[in-house]
């Protein structure tokens, strides 16, 4: 079930609103939210709900003795932590990477091992990272051990963030499982945030995504420099509005129930360097790798060479986390290289801002061309077209001209405005300057009603509704 589906919006969502608005007892609310979350996951993954429940039970019991072995570096502590890491990574590797590893081994060695075709459980990368971080934090002493398996199950399975994040660390919502409150204002504000995310997804991501798919459906010989850069820029917009839209919806749904999830995006396309971009993009993933990979490897405390290796390791893993394809691996290495360049060789923060901005966006856009490609060969072809694609076939020219409609240009203009904080800052400035906070708030809700109406019309009139990050 996806948030932008008719089933969710007209059936599941109203029931959820009723639960969070009417059930004031925290224990009863937790039980109902857990049941709803399991039903939500089972709607599309009836078999793999058993995998998630098994993961919950195993990690729950591994973490139970944490308080006993928290101090020092005892053998039982190392054993239990290792068991948690091995179990979680094995489950993730089996379902996500087994086929990739087998086919890669066959290609390199000439062997003919059977390549397993295992369907990818939706959200496995997200809930695996959440359960693993909980066990690690429990043994570190960063959070208390949760002895109520029902509450732990709610933390892992809570449907807003279950299948596409943000990755919620247990210590961030530990107290909220026992003590939180909701109100008409929180429900209304959460609903407004949900509509903002839904609008990003339905009105912008879907619109530009259909154009990207049209370009990628062309034969490689019909690509040219215009189509290559158009596809790269539009895909960069699609993946941002798709994923940040989903995060907005998740944050809004959580707020309605009294949960406060940390922000996952902070206008990444206003960055002036690649390093800044990664401080603003998919924040929950980057902070997860920083806390559980980069710092344990030594961070920047063991010399420049070790720091460089640690950073490259993090971005290699970031690429691998996104999927079992070489394009993701190359994309992670690509960003790791620019992280090192900006650390040791070039310093965009000292450049003129327009130049720094063009550089950062060019790197990010080229990177997403690699990310979107279906193979390394296609990625190389696209990158070649971005540099030297001056062969214009009739099909390529007709396709490009067909994209230059008033509707597409309008959507593109809306996307460029929405990817910056200009609307937010303008509203805040007006509220402060004219002491009109309530008027601006009313304007926001009126705009939300209008956007919701547009989303409903989009759902009714179009069947194109993919979610990019469900792949991961």
The residues annotated with a catalytic role in the active site are 322
Distance CA 468, CA 238 (A): 9
405, burial (CB in 10 Å: exposed 0-12, middle 13-18, buried 19+): exposed
Which residue has tokens 């959507």? Answer: 411
- Greatest CA separation found in the chain? 73
Cβ contact 455:199 at 8 Å: yes
DSSP element (H, E) containing 253: helix 225-256
Surface-to-core class of residue 341, CB atoms within 10 Å of its CB (0-12 exposed, 13-18 middle, 19+ buried) = middle
- How distant, in Å, are the alpha carbons of 270, 311, 360 from that of 342? 17, 12, 11
What is the enclosing helix (H) or strand (E) of 446?
Answer: helix 437-461
DSSP string, 292-306: IIITTTTTTSS-HHH
Distance CA(189)–CA(444), nearest Å, equals 10
Q: How far apart are CA 126 and CA 131, in angstroms?
A: 9
CA distance 280 to 269: 8
CA neighbor of 64 nearest in space, from 144, 119, 125: 144
Measuring CA to CA, which residue among 404, 382, 387, 373 is closest to residue 221? 382
CA distance linking residue 194 with residue 208, whole number of Å: 21
What span, in angstroms and rounded, lies between the C-alpha atoms of 81 and 21? 40
C-alpha distances (whole Å) from 455 to each of 72, 199, 379, 401, 449 are 55, 6, 33, 28, 10
The contacts of residue 342 (CB under 8 Å, 6+ apart) are 273, 274, 275, 348
Determine if the peptide bond prior to 166 is cis (ω within 30°). yes
Task: Look at residues 447, 367, 456, 463 and name the one whose alpha carbon lies nearest to residue 414.
Answer: 447
């Amino acid at each position: 079930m996806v948030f932008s589906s008719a089933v969710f919006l007209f059936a599941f969502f109203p029931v959820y609103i009723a639960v969070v608005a009417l059930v004031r007892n925290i224990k009863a609310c937790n039980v109902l939210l857990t049941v709803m979350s399991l039903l939500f996951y089972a709607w599309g993954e009836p078999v793999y709900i058993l995998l998630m429940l098994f993961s919950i039970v195993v990690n729950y019991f591994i973490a139970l003795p944490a308080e006993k072995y928290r101090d020092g570096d005892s053998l039982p502590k190392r054993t239990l932590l290792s068991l948690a890491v091995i179990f979680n990574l094995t489950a993730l590797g089996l379902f996500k990477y087994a086929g990739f590893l087998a086919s890669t081994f066959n290609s390199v060695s000439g062997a003919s091992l059977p390549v397993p075709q295992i369907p990818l459980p939706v959200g496995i990368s997200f809930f695996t990272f959440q359960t693993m971080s909980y066990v690690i934090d429990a043994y570190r002493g960063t959070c208390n051990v949760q002895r109520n398996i029902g509450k732990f199950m709610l933390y892992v399975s809570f449907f807003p963030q279950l299948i596409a994040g943000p990755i919620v660390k247990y210590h961030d919502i530990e107290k909220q499982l026992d003590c939180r409150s909701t109100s008409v204002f929180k429900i209304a504000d959460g609903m407004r945030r949900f509509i903002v995310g839904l609008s990003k997804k339905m009105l912008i991501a879907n619109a530009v995504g259909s154009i990207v798919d049209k370009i990628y459906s062309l034969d490689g010989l019909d690509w040219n420099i215009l189509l290559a850069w158009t596809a790269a820029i539009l895909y960069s917009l699609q993946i941002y509005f798709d994923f940040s839209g989903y995060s907005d919806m998740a944050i809004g749904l959580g707020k309605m129930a009294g949960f406060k999830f940390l922000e996952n995006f902070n206008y990444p396309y206003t960055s002036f360097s690649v390093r800044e971009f990664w401080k603003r993009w998919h924040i929950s993933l980057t902070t997860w790798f920083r806390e559980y990979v980069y710092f344990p490897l030594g961070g920047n405390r063991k010399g420049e060479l070790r720091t460089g290796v640690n950073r490259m390791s993090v971005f290699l893993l970031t690429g691998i986390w996104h999927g079992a394809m070489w394009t993701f691996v190359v994309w992670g290495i690509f960003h790791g290289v620019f992280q090192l360049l900006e650390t040791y060789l070039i310093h965009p923060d000292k450049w003129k801002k327009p130049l720094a901005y063009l550089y950062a966006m060019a790197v990010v856009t080229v990177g997403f061309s690699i990310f979107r490609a279906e193979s390394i060969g296609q990625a190389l072809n696209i990158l070649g077209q971005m540099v030297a694609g001056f062969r214009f076939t009739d099909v390529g020219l007709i396709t490009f001209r067909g994209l230059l409609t008033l509707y597409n240009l309008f959507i593109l203009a809306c996307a460029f405005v929405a990817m910056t904080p200009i609307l937010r800052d303008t509203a805040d400035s007006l509220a402060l300057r004219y002491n009109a906070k309530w008027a601006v708030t009313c304007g926001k809700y009126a705009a939300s009603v209008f956007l919701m109406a547009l989303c409903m019309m989009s759902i009714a009139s179009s069947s194109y509704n993919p979610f990019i990050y469900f792949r991961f």
